[in-house]
Amino acid sequence: MSYTPKDVLEMVKKENVVSVDLKFMDFPGLWQHFSVPVKQLDMDSFEDGFGFDGSSIRGWRTINESDMLVIPDPTTAFVDPFMKYKTLSMICDIVDPITRERYTRCPRNVAKKAELYLQSTGIADTAYVGPEMEFFIFDDVRFDQNEHEGYFHIDSIEGRWNTGREESPNLGYKPRYKEGYFPVSPTDSQQDIREEMVQVLSACGLEIEAQHHEVATGGQGEIDLRFDTLVKMGDSANLYKYILKNVAHRNGKTLTFMPKPLAGDNGTGMHTHISLWKGATPLFAGSGYAGMSEMAMYFVGGILRHSRALAAFTNPTTNSYRRLVPGFEAPVNLAYSQRNRSAAIRFPMYSMSPKAKRVEVRYPDCSGNPYLSFSALLMAGLDGIQNRIDPGDPLDKDIYDLSPEELVGVPVMPGSLEEAIRELESDYEFLMKGDVFTEDVIKTWMHYKMENEVNALRLRPHPWEFAMYYDL
């Protein structure tokens, strides 16, 4: 339901709300919030907003220009299912209090500009996005890194590594490595908690298509959101993360969207489905390869052309590249296919209906900012359409079975976050069309990632280095 300010004020009264929680996305990709007493919310609040200190938000204002406003979006209102006291939550946009302009580093603003730019091109009216978001549910996590030690320890009751643990009794139903997709219970021990997540997601207005255990042992799962428009899906992805983490927490468990928390088993990705529509007409259906249109193929050409730069947004953590390793499960080879899951892009063939025709980009993960990831993918695809970029021939063979000679002409994704940032440095003009990504946003993103993540990691020894090198 799309609420108006009047609807929200009526909801507040009907639900006996006592607090209003204002949620917004920081630059790297975590939801932030603060709350105000319900009496502070009135019709003017949806124009005037609420003030806060923007200098304390990662990647945003400096201390000498810190005052900012959050403007609540009434269409996003929901009663928060996790607060002790009845709380109404809304997602907010960020505005400069003096100029009243939308803040360029607000990720939701970037996504809104991407939608407006799409419409301005005349190519399409709407971009639909459907991410397959994967995660791990663990029972315990401990980690630390300081001057003299560094470690992490994670545990799961269904982890295969626990088949020999004394559990009084150990009942033995633990998914084998890479065989979690998808046996029934009791091997799948997390059906009920995933279903609880689905029920809360649905109660908060999100439409769910399926839920299941994923490939890895130790609690890997997936709950699929039904596709939606770009900004709405950015909102939904953030609400999805919030709900899943909190349902896990109230069940005494912990949930992570880290791409590669386990060594020796599958990582978690975010296969992202995209389609363009004009009115009620799907634009990716046609008579070409896999039933796709010429426009769809150019869209793919743009994504393949810019994928190495896109990685800085779609795979924006150092941990992302523990998953994107050639020869393993992640699709690092920049090719496309109609059914081949080892290609970076594929065309799902579950249905031949024109409405189901879409492009599935398989390399993204959930570690980034969904507004920026989805917007960047759209901008790359539009660049492909505008410049008629040929994606080349499909690669319908199993890429992992190809010889080195056969792979010579197939480009691959970057091997590290630093490499991805270097690619973005030399390839970002396509993102700046329509002022969607400003140069300030792109350069701030690169600087933040280098200083706070790439350099922070390279300055610290890795535990496995001791196993390899201590006896030198």
Q: Is 153 a catalytic residue?
A: no
Alpha helices in 320-432, H assignment, sequence order: 320-323, 370-386, 404-407, 417-426
SS3 (DSSP) at 184: coil
Residue 214: active-site member: yes
**Is 195 annotated as catalytic?**
no
| 451 given a catalytic annotation | no
Q: What does the DSSP 8-state code read for residue 435?
A: G
The yes-or-no answer on residue 362 being catalytic is yes
Active-site pick, 115, 222, 224, 365: 222
Contacts with 243 (C-beta within 8 Å, 6 or more apart), sequence order = 81, 197, 200, 201, 204
Residue among 424, 154, 143 at smallest CA distance from 265: 154
From 273, 306, 308, 362, the catalytic residue? 362
Q: How many C-alpha atoms does 320 have within 13 Å on its Cβ side?
A: 29
Task: Given the residues 105, 108, 271, 323, select the one marked as catalytic.
Answer: 271
Is the alpha carbon torsion for 292, 293, 296, 301 positive or negative? positive
d(C-alpha 5, C-alpha 75), whole Å: 8
How far is residue 95's CA from residue 102's CA, in Å, rounded to a whole number?
Answer: 4
Give yes or no: 423 in active site: no
- Active site annotation includes 271: yes
CA distances in angstroms from 271 to 134, 252, 383, listed in the order given: 9, 29, 21
The one catalytic residue in 73, 115, 134, 188 is: 134
Of 26, 132, 365, 423, the active-site residue reads: 132
429 is catalytic: no
Q: How far apart are CA 354 and CA 125, in angstroms?
A: 17
Residue of 214, 224, 423, 453 marked active site: 214
Beta strands in 9-98 (DSSP E): 19-25, 31-37, 50-53, 67-72, 78-79, 87-95
Contacts of 121 by beta carbon, 8 Å cutoff, 6+ apart = 382, 386
**Longest Cα pair distance anywhere in the chain, in angstroms?**
71
Q: Which residue out of 26, 115, 360, 423 is catalytically annotated? A: 360
- Specify whether 134 is catalytic: yes
Residue 130 burial (CB count, 10 A): 18
Would you name the residues annotated as active-site residues?
Answer: 53, 132, 134, 214, 222, 271, 341, 360, 362
